[in-house]
Structure 1
Amino acid sequence: MPGRLLLALPLALLLACGGGSHPSPPPRAARIVYTPPTSGTYQLLLNTEKSTATHLVLDLMGPTGTAGRGVAFHLVAPPGQMTWAKVDSKDAELTQSPTFGVVAGSVLKAKATSGDLQVGAFLTWAFTPSVTFDRTVSLATVALDLVPETAPGAATLRSTSGSAVMLPATLGADPVPITITAGTVTLQ
C-alpha cells in the first residue's frame, strides 16, 4: 500500500499544477518603426521631436517653392494595429498644421473613422496671403498610436488614391490633385 501511495503522489501533484508546461503568450509589439519614403513630391516624414516608441507622428511635407492655400487628404492605417491619435494630447483636432493652422482665417479639421483619417487644413480669408511651401515646415501633422496587444509585423499606411488635393495660391482656382507617399511601418 505505501508503494501505491508513493506512485500516486507525483501524479496528483502534476494534475494539481495543471499538467505539464504552460504555453508562452504570443509576442506583442512594443514600438512602431517608421522608414521614410525615398521618393515622391508630397511625403509623410517622421517627426522625431514628437514621436515616441508607441506614438508615431508624421509630417506632410510639400515641394519647396510651391505656393498654396491648403491641403486635404485621406489616409488609411490598419485599425487592429494602430489608431489615429492627437499629435499632442491637448490638441482640439487629430491634426496640426504649422503652415495653415496658425494664422487668422484658417480652418483645421480632421475626422477618424476606424482606420481612416480625413484631414483638411486651409486658409479661408481672401485677404490672407497664400503660403510658399518649405521642406522645413509641415503642411499638416498627424499621429498614430500602437494598439495594445498587437502582434509584431508590417503595417500598411497609405493615402487613398485620388483623395489628396492642394489648393493653389490663386483664389478660386480648382484644387490640384497631389500624390502623398508614405514610408514603411513595422511593428516590433
Structure 2
Amino acid sequence: MRMRTICQSFLPAASLVLLLACGGAATAPGPQAAPASSGFTYQDPSGSGWILQKNLASSDTHLILDVIGPVGTKGRGIGFNLQSDGTVAFAKLSAAGYVRDTGVFKLQSTFANYPVEPTLLAGGVKKNGTLLTVGIFQKDRYWPAQDLGQAVCQIAIDFDPAKTAALPPGTVIPLTITKAKAIPAFIGDMPADPTDPNADWNSVAYYYSASLVPVQISVGTLTTK
C-alpha cells in the first residue's frame, strides 16, 4: 500500500515537469523587418555663395529647392549638374521640364519682332535619372544684370516609394554638385551706337564667349524620416 501511494503522488509531479519541458517554455521571436522611411527632411546649407534652399511649399515627399545666388551681387544666369545616388527621383516642375523659371532673368529678346523665339531655359535628367542638369540664362545683353540674392529658378526632388522607402529612417541621401557655371553681370561694353554698321563688337564678343565662369553651389543635407 505504501509503494502505491508514493507512485500515485509522483505521477502528477512528473507530468508537470514533462509539460514544462515540452511546451511551457516561450519561443524566441523571429527576425523583424527593418522600419521603412515615409518621407525626408532637408537642412539648408550655410554659406554666403550660391545655395540650394528649401522652399516653404515643400512637403515630406516633394522637396522644392530654390536656387539662390550670393546676396548683393548681380548676374545673368546659372547652370549646374546635381548628382544623386539613385534613391530619390528628380521631379518635373513645369512644361519646361525639371526647372521652373521664377521670373528673375529675362529669357526673351528685347526686340518685339522675335515674339516666339526659344528661351534659354532647360532641364533634364541623365545617367538613368541620377543626374539632373539645368540652366537658365538671359538671352539678350540689352537687359541689365539681375539681383542674384533671390530664387532665380527652382528644382524638385520626390520621395521614391520603391527606393527611398527601402532606406532606414535617418539615412543621409548624398547630393553633389558636379559642375556649376554662371554668367556674371559684366559681359563686355556695348558699342556707343549699336546700329552703326561699323560698331566695334569685339569687347562684347570676347567677354560673352568667356562669360561662363565656374561657381560653387552649396547643397544641404537630405535625410529620410
Compute the TM-score of the two structures, normalised by the length of structure 1. Answer: 0.76
The within-5 A match list for 1:1-188 is 24-49=32-57, 51-79=58-86, 81-87=87-93, 90-100=94-104, 103-105=107-109, 106-113=119-126, 114-134=129-149, 137-149=150-162, 150=165, 151-152=167-168, 153-160=171-178, 163-171=179-187, 172=208, 173-188=210-225
Task: Find the aligned partners of 2:61 and 2:35 in 1 and give their Cα distance.
Answer: 16
> Cα distance 1:129–1:25, how it changes in 2: closer, same or farther (>3 A)?
same
C-alpha distance after superposition, 1:49-102 (max 9, x if no partner): 2x11111111111112212110011101121x2010023xx5431011314466
Give the corresponding residue for 2:113.
Answer: none
Task: Find the aligned partners of 1:38 and 1:170 in 2 and give their Cα distance.
Answer: 27
C-alpha distance after superposition, 1:125-183 (max 9, x if no partner): 2322221222xx212211011111321311011101xx211101223152221101101
> Cα distance 1:127–1:102, how it changes in 2: closer, same or farther (>3 A)?
closer
Q: Which amino acid aligns with 2:144?
A: P
Measured after TM superposition, the shift of residue 21 of structure 1 is 7.3
- The structure whose Rg is larger is 2
Q: Is the 8 A contact 1:40 1:181 kept in 2?
A: no
Task: Find the aligned partners of 1:66 and 1:40 in 2 and give their Cα distance.
Answer: 11
Task: Find the aligned partners of 1:68 and 1:28 in 2 and give their Cα distance.
Answer: 43
Q: Which amino acid aligns with 2:40?
A: I
Q: Which amino acid aligns with 1:170?
A: F
Structure 1 stretches of 4+ moved >3 Å = 20-26, 99-103
Q: Is the 8 A contact 1:100 1:122 kept in 2?
A: no
Q: Is the 8 A contact 2:51 2:68 kept in 1?
A: yes
Q: Is the 8 A contact 1:101 1:108 kept in 2?
A: no
Compute the TM-score of the two structures, normalised by the length of structure 2. Answer: 0.65
More strand as a share of residues: 1
Identical pairs, percent: 29
More helix as a share of residues: 2
Task: Find the aligned partners of 1:104 and 1:22 in 2 and give their Cα distance.
Answer: 64
SS at match of 1:139: strand
How many residue pairs match? The answer is 161
Give the alignment's Cα RMSD to 1 decimal: 2.2
Q: Which amino acid aligns with 1:175?
A: L
